[in-house]
A and B are shown apart, each in its own frame.
Chain A
Amino acid sequence: MPDQTTPTPRRGGGAARVAGRQATGRRTADRWTADRWTAWAFLAPVAGYLLAFYAYPLYRNVELSLREYTVRSFVQGGAPFAGLDNYRRVLTDATFGPALWHTVVFTLASLVFQFGIGMALALFFHRHFPLARTLRALFLVPWLLPLIVSASTWSWLLNSDAGVVNAALEALGVGPVNWLTSPRWSLLSVIIANIWIGVPFNLVVLYSGLQSIPATVYEAAALDGAGGWQRFWRITFPLLRPVSAITLLLGLIYTLKVFDIIWIMTRGGPTDSSTTLATWSYRLGFGTLLPSFGPGAAVGNLLIVMALVAGLSYLRVRRRLQP
């Protein structure tokens, strides 16, 4: 994605490098090979960091899910090995079905609307007009706010008695809706809040994608008499396919992870009506006085499998699109 602040490799830089290497001959080649190893001196801190603070917590999480932990054995150690018991328990739990379903609904609904609205806005802002830059920058605000701020603001907006959304509905003659306290509406409420948070990201990425389409293509189409609608479906949409695919896949990866918004707005309730795998995992591990770390970790690991499937397909698409 082109952007004025992202440097692109200077044209001819590679050629100059090759020429330089040939000119100074073997010594440079040796030095170059040596570099490949000194590079690891620079990489070593992060490599160690990844092992200690990514790989090890992940390993501990797998280990948690395979043992029968109580609070006591969690602190003192010595929990018996339980094999796949935790997974079995989780998969047969009454919450599993709804949590999986809510995760799917939450993710798909968020993605479709974030992308749709983001695309519409990107197309709109792409037609340059006074103030467009400033307004586009303001659109970033929801994305930059701490999630707890957005979530608590939405909680109050959607409050049953005093929320401004219900006040507006009342003015339209519609009765109050128990957005956060009724099982019928709670999932929709957290989806709305999440769409609001995700639109700016889609807008910015799709906008930068639009900018990379050369204006001459449109001019040619206009000469051929293509209308605005035709131009969108015949030119913009196909040319934006790579950027769109990446935006959607990144959106998928991040939406699967969403936890804060749901937990702060509804705690997954009432009666599990907005529980997703992420909030369920948190509730099992940290949300109650009697934590069940084993099952919590098991749910987490199921979530990670889903995230990795999404992640690997993202990498696949990216590799296919960017030679």
Chain B
Amino acid sequence: MRRLIRTTVGVALTAVMLFPVYWMINVSFTREQDMRADPPHLTPVGGTLEGYRAVLDQQLPYLGTSLLVGLGTVALTLVLAAPAGYALAKLRPVGGGLFSFALLIAQMIPGIIMAMGFYAIYLELGLLNTLPGLILADSTLAVPFGVLIFTAFMSGIPQELMQAAVVDGAGRLRTFWSVVLPVSRNSIVTVSLFAFLWSWSDFIYASTLDGGGDRQPITLGIYQYIGNNNQQWNAIMATAVLASVPATVLLVLAQRYVAAGVAAGAVKD
């Protein structure tokens, strides 16, 4: 009985917490003329797909750009972070402690400050409003986190496993590639998920470094929507719903990785 009461309370609390998300979905189906109804329509019954039609007409390129930038960020993050994690976890580099310290500090720098510095540099290099520029900037959200996660996971790999490879005549690079990486699958998934999610969600670098580009990510798509046609809220919310899809997929498919990432001191800025 008490368990049942707890479950009921739990469902109620979750409902309160997720109400804004429900409302976003509800509004995305609401017809234009019902938008300011009083009292508001609480369910999307009798709603419209207008909002989603508008999204498909106007926002698909933005979603495509975000996908591309996200994948680019994941690739760059993995290439940089995995070897570093291996070195810090297993090879005890000279100055490794200092290096980990620098990574922790790097995570604490506010994005707006990085953005201003990047802006000045990109202006000189002509990287403003380019996808590689945005990918590079977005990767700064994930690389320090990635190195820390890889270090934590890889220090758990038994030393014997690697010694066996060394005995077989494998060099450090080979050991890394054919022993360490395959057993680190979990950490690769975790880091990839977060790198993708953060670059997909990034607004600050997109708005400062790609504000005038012809290929903009979905966060800017929504932002301009809010600015331009203040009235078409079903379309705005429909875009928001579609922009939330990666987060939802991530939660469903990889809940345990997410929990691991959060518990490892995951960062969101």
Is chain B found bound to chain A in the same assembly?
Answer: yes
**Interface residue ranges, A against B (CB under 8 Å):** 1, 3-10, 13, 16-17, 20, 32, 35-43, 45-47, 49-50, 53-54, 56-61, 64, 74-75, 121, 124-125, 127, 129-132, 135, 137-150, 152-157, 161-162, 164, 167, 170-171, 196, 199-201, 204-205, 208, 246, 250, 253-254, 256-260, 264, 278, 281-282, 285-286, 293, 296-297, 300-301, 303-304, 307-308, 310-311, 314-315
- Smallest Cβ-Cβ distance to A162: which chain B residue: B36
Contacts of B91 in A (CB 8 A): 35-36, 38-39, 42
Q: Are B147 and A46 in contact (CB-based, < 8 A)?
A: yes
A-B contact pairs, 18 of them (CB 8 A): A5-B257, A16-B160, A39-B87, A41-B172, A46-B143, A57-B118, A64-B116, A75-B123, A129-B6, A131-B7, A142-B18, A144-B258, A204-B262, A260-B203, A285-B116, A285-B208, A300-B116, A304-B113
B90 to chain A, nearest CB (A): 8
Known contacts A39-B96, A303-B110: A135-B10 contact under CB 8 Å: yes
Query: Nearest 5 A-B pairs (CB), nearest first?
Result: A7-B156, A57-B117, A39-B93, A39-B91, A146-B201
Cα separation A152 to B230 with both chains bound (whole Å):
11
Q: Are A281 and B112 in contact (CB-based, < 8 A)?
A: yes
Q: Are B10 and A131 in contact (CB-based, < 8 A)?
A: yes
Q: Are A171 and B14 in contact (CB-based, < 8 A)?
A: no
Q: Are B121 and A56 in contact (CB-based, < 8 A)?
A: yes
Q: Is B181 an interface residue (CB 8 A)?
A: no
A33 to chain B, nearest CB (A): 10
B233 to chain A, nearest CB (A): 6
Cα separation A136 to B108 with both chains bound (whole Å):
28
Contacts of B84 in A (CB 8 A): 42-43, 45-46
Cα separation A201 to B115 with both chains bound (whole Å):
25
Q: Are B263 and A3 in contact (CB-based, < 8 A)?
A: yes
**Interface residue ranges, B against A (CB under 8 Å):** 3-4, 6-7, 9-11, 13-14, 17-18, 20-21, 23-24, 27, 35-36, 38-40, 79-81, 83-84, 86-88, 91-94, 96, 99, 101-106, 108-121, 123, 136-137, 139-140, 143, 147, 152-153, 155-160, 163, 172, 176, 186, 190, 197, 200-201, 203-204, 207-208, 211, 218-219, 222-223, 226, 233, 236-237, 240, 243-244, 247-248, 250-251, 255-260, 262-269
Contacts of B201 in A (CB 8 A): 145-148
Q: Are A148 and B18 in contact (CB-based, < 8 A)?
A: no
Known contacts A39-B92, A129-B3, A156-B233: A146-B259 contact under CB 8 Å: no
Cα separation A304 to B160 with both chains bound (whole Å):
44
Cα separation A230 to B123 with both chains bound (whole Å):
61
A125 to chain B, nearest CB (A): 7
- Taking A208-B259, A297-B116 as known contacts, 17 extra A-B pairs with beta carbons closer than 8 A to each other, sorted by chain A number, are A7-B153, A7-B156, A56-B117, A57-B116, A61-B117, A124-B10, A141-B18, A142-B20, A143-B262, A144-B248, A146-B218, A148-B201, A204-B259, A257-B269, A281-B116, A293-B120, A301-B113
Q: Are B263 and A6 in contact (CB-based, < 8 A)?
A: yes
Contact of A141 among B21, B39, B159, B236 (CB under 8 A): B21
Contacts of A138 in B (CB 8 A): 14, 17-18
Contacts of A13 in B (CB 8 A): 158-160
Cα separation A49 to B106 with both chains bound (whole Å):
12
Q: Are A125 and B27 in contact (CB-based, < 8 A)?
A: no
